[in-house]
């Protein structure tokens, strides 16, 4: 007798259960949008539209921050969403910033240029892998190493602010781009503590001055987005080192 129908009968229910399980649409929609923004940044950089590339990376950062919160608020968290989000982050905050920086300035440095771009890309991959494996054991108030979205904002912000200032080509730009790229890549895999902002409760009541501060912050950013956002992420990139030195100084015994 042919055993094919019997085998099919044994496996069809299992496949049916897997197919019926499905995935959650809303949070993965934002993850897909973030992935598209990272891909779009690469395409625009190849066409020489670097300001658009930087804006696309910042857009991916906003979308990436929304998908996780939406999943938690709607109780639609899943293993598929977590893995999909990591892959999206690798494209938007790993490959895209590295390629944008290389096309923008690093290509002028020859071998050093693509090596520095690879250092950043590898740092982002290692950062995401370490985050996924240590998510249950580290202090949720702090990241271990600079998060990849902040690193992407740092290097993309450099492109955006110099383009906004009208600085197109200069020998010193390539060296500054190289320094920023290597710094961001190394800081992602460092042990420096960076505040995660995960302990902020957006549902609780806040004083009136907090709302005024948010409005003032929006006005300042809207006045000159490239410069203000770049300075904010530069300060955040340095905050991890400052916090590390402060902790080290407190642990040092008094003479």
Q: How confident is the model at residue 11 (pLDDT cuts 50, 70, 90)?
A: very low
Quick one: tokens of 120?
């950043």
> What pLDDT score was predicted for residue 138?
66
Contact 190, 212 (CB under 8 A): no
- Which helix (H) or strand (E) is 220 found in, with range? helix 208-223
Q: Does the structure show a pLDDT above 80 at 246?
A: yes
> What pLDDT score was predicted for residue 22?
61
Tens digit of pLDDT for each residue in 85-123?
A: 999 999 999 999 999 999 999 998 999 999 999 999 999
d(CA 149, CA 169): 26
What value does the mean pLDDT take over residues 27-38?
Answer: 92
pTM of the full structure: 0.84
Q: What are the extents of the domains in the chain?
A: 23-251
Tens digit of pLDDT for each residue in 177-214?
A: 999 999 999 999 998 999 887 766 666 777 777 788 88
The CATH class given to the 23-251 domain equals mainly alpha
């Amino acid at each position: 007798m042919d055993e094919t129908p019997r085998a099919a009968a044994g496996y069809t229910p299992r496949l049916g259960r897997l197919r019926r399980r499905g995935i959650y649409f809303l949070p993965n929609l934002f993850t897909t949008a973030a992935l598209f923004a990272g891909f779009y940044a690469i395409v625009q950089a190849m066409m020489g539209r670097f300001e658009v590339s930087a804006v696309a990376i910042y857009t991916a950062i906003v979308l990436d921050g929304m998908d996780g919160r939406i999943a938690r608020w709607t109780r639609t968290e899943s293993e598929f969403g977590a893995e999909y989000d990591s892959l999206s982050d690798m494209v938007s905050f790993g490959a895209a910033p590295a390629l944008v920086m290389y096309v923008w300035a690093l290509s002028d440095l020859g071998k050093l240029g693509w090596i520095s771009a690879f250092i950043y890309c590898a740092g982002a991959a290692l950062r995401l892998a370490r985050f996924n494996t240590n998510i249950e054991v580290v202090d949720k108030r702090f990241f271990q190493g600079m998060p990849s979205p902040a690193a992407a904002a740092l290097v993309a912000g450099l492109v955006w602010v110099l383009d906004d200032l009208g600085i197109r080509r200069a020998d010193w730009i390539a060296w500054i781009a190289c320094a920023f790229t290597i710094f961001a890549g190394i800081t992602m895999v460092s042990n420096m503590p960076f505040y995660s902002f995960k302990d902020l409760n957006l549902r609780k009541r806040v004083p009136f001055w907090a709302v005024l501060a948010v409005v003032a912050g929006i006005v300042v950013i809207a006045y000159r987005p490239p410069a203000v956002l770049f300075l904010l992420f530069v300060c955040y990139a340095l905050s991890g080192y400052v916090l590390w030195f402060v902790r080290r100084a407190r642990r040092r015994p008094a003479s």
